[in-house]
Each structure stands twice: as structure tokens, then as C-alpha cells.
Amino acid sequence: MAEVLTLGEIMLRLSTKENRLACTDELLAHYGGGEANVAISLANFGHQAYFASKVPDNALGLAVKRHLNRFGVHTDFLLFGGQRLGIYFLEQGVGIKAANVIYDRAFSSFSQMAANEWERMDLFAGIDLFHLSGITPALSPAWLELLIKLMQEAKSRGVKISFDINFRGKLWSQAQAAEALKQILPYVDYLSAGRLDAKYLLGIKHAELLPLEQCYQEMQRLYPNIQVIYSTNRTILSAKHNQLQGTLYYQNAYYESKVIDIPEIVDRVGGGDAYSAGILHGLLSECEPQAIVDFATAASALKHMVYGDCNQFTLEEVQAYLKNDSSKMNR
């Protein structure tokens, strides 16, 4: 199995069950962040996963470390210091009501980093893949500059770079993201991006009218260095009932999974991260493209069945789901 480094902010998530945030007297606590979620999934799939971040030197920071270690993620590059851990509040969607998120991440330990505090560490020794997302450069101009320097170092060491655009309108504008991506994407090998990213962030005209395969081809035309592009198609029937299909553009060919019906969603947060991890696992394991997209879609669907941000299913459990009718009892 491969050695993977992911880097990003991890936060405390406080979520309601079904009440409104303004009315609840009970919140469920979890830890999560896109890059941390990917690291956990890859560790569950048997890879050596390392997570780089910064958390406060207090009980919450220690809880983050224990959360990661519990799932087998190495925390050699988890720094301690700074003011606080970022928090986000999640009001769960119910029926026709969509979920809502409120961020409280100002002055968090990770977001306030302005220089490479891993300079004395060898972040990329033995690393096969470096995974990042668009959330990190959205935190500050300093983080955009630092992210590019880290990507340059990774490329100089022969490390593949995976990037999830993961646009967050509450962190920056489409124009700001588009300008940053012009600096980031020339270093990327594997890209998580969909039709809306193509239209609003990459400037591909009429992307909403193009077949997804053609959108991917246009992205690759803009950035020939990108070897793999992937995303999911989600049909939302209600907050608790979705249908999911995975797509993959690899070796100049387009692949898609069957549509998976998810009728009783427990928690959809982190479903995209589970899909990214499934794609990366398949690439790192040199699987056939159709097997890669099928596995990733199954991993994402299973994530919808557990509370919290991270996927808690092993490689064997995802494979078993693919082979068997999930309604059957596993005896």
C-alpha cells in the first residue's frame, strides 16, 4: 500500500439532530475536515496516511490527535500552538428543509499560520501522494502562497498531487477562487471538480450544457498536466433521500458508476471526501478505471449511513457492499 500525506484544517463540528440551531439544547460533537476525512478513509483502506495541520495546545487539540490516531492516521506532522480550534455548527436537513452551516473559524491555529512551520521536518520523505483542497488557500493570502510552495516542493520530490476544488462561497468569492486556481492547477495530477467548477471557476463557456465528459476534456485542455478528473452526480429527492452516481475521466476515457439509491441518510457530510478517498485508493492500487469509480461511489454511499464527518468503513466492508445486496444480513 502507498504512503499519503494530506494537509488542511480540522475543526470541531457541533450539530443538531433535527431541531433548529436557534431552538436546540443539545449538540453532537465530532471532528472533521476534508483533508483529515480523506486521510482517515485511506488509512481504513490500508494505506499509510499522514495528516499535517495545526491545532491548539489544549484538550481540544489532544482530542483531535486521538480522533485521528483512533482511525490509524499518523500525526507526526500535527503541530500544536496558536489560539483556538475552528468550529462549525451544522443544522441537519430534514424533509424539504436543507442543511445549514455556520462557521466560527476566525483566528484558528491553522488559519493563522503565515510561514512553513514544518520546515525542519521532511514532510515528503517516502510520500507517494499529497492531497489538498481549495479550502486551505481560501483561508488567507499567506496560505495560498504557502500552499503553492509546498506543492512545488512535492513536485520536485516526485510526489503526485491531488486537489479537491471544494469551493466554499462563505470563505471567498468565485473571482478570488478562479485567480488562485490559475496558480494551483498547473501542479495538480488528480483533480476533483464538477460541472459548476468548470463554468464558474475555470471559465469554460456553456459548461452547464456540455456532456460531463466534454467538460472534463475541456479542463484537461486547459491544464494538460492533470491526469485524472472526477466528481459525483447527486439527485436530491429530500434531505434524507438522495441518489448518487460517480464519474471519472482517466486515460482519455470517461467512466461512470451505476446510480446508488440512498433512501435513509444518516449524515451526508463527508460523502465527497469518501468519494475522493475511494478514487485515490483505486489509483494508488492501480485498479481498472471502472473498478475505481464503482468502489469510490460505494464508499461514498456507505459514508451516508454513519454520523460524523469521516467514513468508518474498511476496504473489506466496501468490497462486500459491492458484491452483496446491502439489504441482506451479513452473517
**% helix / strand / coil in the chain, to the nearest 5?**
35, 25, 40
For position 325, what pLDDT does the model report? 60
The residue among 99, 46, 49, 47 whose CA lies nearest residue 69 is: 49
pLDDT of 98 strictly over 80:
no
pLDDT at residue 328 greater than cutoff 60? no
pLDDT higher than 70, residue 297: yes
**Residue 266 within a domain:** yes
Q: Per the domain annotation, does 77 fall within a domain?
A: yes
Q: Name the nearest CA neighbour of 68 among 102, 43, 98, 103.
A: 43
Q: Cα separation of 104 and 82, whole Å?
A: 15
Predicted confidence (pLDDT) at residue 22 exceeds the cutoff of 90: no
Of the candidates 247, 221, 217, 248, which has an alpha carbon nearest to the alpha carbon of residue 234?
A: 247
| Residue 6 contacts residue 147 (beta carbons within 8 Å) | no
CA–CA separation, 179 and 98 (whole Å)? 30
**174 falls within a domain:** yes
Residues 197-251: tens digit of each pLDDT: 999 999 999 999 999 999 999 999 999 999 999 999 999 999 889 999 999 999 9
Q: What's the rounded mean pLDDT across residues 248-276?
A: 95
Q: Please tell me the total count of domains within the chain.
A: 1
CATH at residue 159: 3.40.1190.20
**Between 44 and 1, where is the model more confident?**
44
Q: Is the entire prediction scored with pTM above 0.75?
A: yes
Residue 326 has what pLDDT? Answer: 52
Q: Is residue 331 part of a domain?
A: no
Question: Does 328 map to a domain?
Answer: no
Residue 111 identity: S
Q: Sign of the CA dihedral 74, 275, 272, 162? A: positive
The more confidently predicted of residues 102 and 326 is 102
What pLDDT score does 298 carry?
Answer: 97
pLDDT exceeds cutoff 50 at 331: no
DSSP 76-116: TTEEE-SSB--EEEEE--BTTBPPEEEEE-TTBTTTT--S-
- Per-residue pLDDT at 20 exceeds 70: yes
* 307 occurs within a structural domain: yes
Could you tell me the residue range of the domain that residue 86 belongs to? Answer: 3-323
Distance from C-alpha of 26 to C-alpha of 4, rounded to nearest angstrom: 37
Q: How do residues 149-198 score in pLDDT, each as one tens digit?
A: 999 999 999 999 999 999 999 999 999 999 999 999 999 999 999 999 99
> Average of pLDDT values for 104-122?
94
